[in-house]
Amino acid sequence: MEKSSTLSAKAKFKVPFGTVSITDKARVLIDEALESKWVTRGKYVQEFEEKFAAIFGVKEAIAVSSGTDADAICCATLYDFGAQRGDEIIVPALSFVATGNSVLQAGFMPVFVDVKRETLNIDPDKIEAAITPKTRAIMPVHLMGKPAAMDQIQAIAKKHNLLIIEDAAEAHGAEYQGQKIGAIGDMAAFSLYAAHIVTTIEGGIIITDNPKIAEAARSLRNHGLVGKFTFGRIGFSAKMNEIEAAVGLGNIDIFETILSKRRRNLHRLIEKFKPFEEYFITIKEDSYEKIGPHAFSIILRENCSFTKDEFVQYIEKEGVDSRNLFYSMPTQCPSYAFLGKKLGDFPEAEYCSNHGTHIGIHQDLELEEMDYIVEVVGKFLSDYVK
């Protein structure tokens, strides 16, 4: 029987943003790992890798210590394909900062491209203008679990001989034109952080069908180790441990249940928010895709008579937890000031950040909570719309 542990926000909010599912199986495996005294990478990590790969129909999965490490190691595999330090990887301007950070951590330069407000994802029509002789890969992010425009991205990558690294951190279970997100590009990085569909509490995992990429990734996660004690690459210390893998194995068993509950909640809000379309841009699911729901994004339309701060303060006062809709990394994160970009360079990403929020639709929430969210938003509009 599944048991769930919700985050501490549960006590404060009627609709908390995130949760984590810890199953009875996970508890048994954790106890077994502790009893064996072998808690570093071992049989549970290997089993987790095999089962995760099976979900996505790929040959290889490499478990690591975080989603950021998964991104960074994916980037670092490019050195096995002739890339040099200082080469470039194209990424969307709007994402969790780990996307840009991982490119830098791997020794590359992120080249940012603006997003489309309606999808939150990289604008494929703006990618080619960002390609230079130093470009080695495109890293689309499937933000909120909504697939990026992979057909156009694939065509651009093929034309310019670039690799595709899917940042699928939030997109477990998403599909695009009948293909599973994560199995479309040359490789993909998933986050297994607590709020995601499959979690190991902290953790990440890389999937690929390319044995050369898999070999490099396994080496890179362990200091660049090749063979018994030779260090052939500049690597990371990024191994997953047995305790984390035990939690992940429990989640694998209930993956379809978690995914179906999140998709049910997503569809409920998509339908119930239709009367609010005059005021908000919300995540939508097109006919050719299935969203792997991470959260429900809400962006204020231009010329609203209320502000995002007023909206967020109101819904949180009524018990609906929320998070800001990330930032335009090159223009709204001080850590990227060295790039010399200025406000206005990425207007769509900046707009999404300035006017957007997102709320939870996770598996511990029922349709009752979704309807409560709609009720709160309706009350807010009746009070604030002039």
CATH number for the domain that contains residue 234: 3.40.640.10
Domain range for 171? 4-113+121-253
Looking at the fold, whether 294 and 233 belong to one and the same domain comes out as no
Q: Express each pLDDT in 68-123 by its tens digit.
A: 999 999 999 999 999 999 999 999 999 999 999 999 999 999 999 999 999 999 99
Looking at the fold, whether 318 and 360 belong to one and the same domain comes out as yes
Phi, psi (deg, nearest 5) at residue 91: -135, 155
Q: Is the pLDDT of residue 316 over 70?
A: yes
Looking at the fold, whether 244 and 260 belong to one and the same domain comes out as no
Number of domains present in the structure of the chain: 2
Domain end among 220, 253, 286 = 253
Looking at the fold, whether 197 and 337 belong to one and the same domain comes out as no
DSSP string, 199-249: --BS-EEEEES-HHHHHHHHHHTBTTEETTTEE-S---B-B--HHHHHHHH
Looking at the fold, whether 206 and 313 belong to one and the same domain comes out as no
Task: State the pLDDT at residue 1.
Answer: 36
Of the candidate ranges 83-92, 135-144, 182-191, 238-247, the one whose mean pLDDT is the lowest: 238-247
Q: Is the pLDDT of residue 38 over 50?
A: yes
Task: State the pLDDT at residue 42.
Answer: 82
Domain end among 209, 231, 253 = 253
277 close to 179: Cβ distance less than 8 angstroms? no
Tokens for 43, please give them.
């049989």
Q: Is the pLDDT of residue 354 over 60?
A: yes
Average pLDDT, stretch 186-210?
A: 95
pTM, 2 dp: 0.93
Task: State the pLDDT at residue 28.
Answer: 86
**How far, in Å, CA of 283 to CA of 348, rounded?**
15
Task: State the pLDDT at residue 211.
Answer: 98
Looking at the fold, whether 186 and 48 belong to one and the same domain comes out as yes
CATH number, residue 362: 3.90.1150.10
Average pLDDT, stretch 319-336?
A: 96
Domain end among 253, 286, 309 = 253
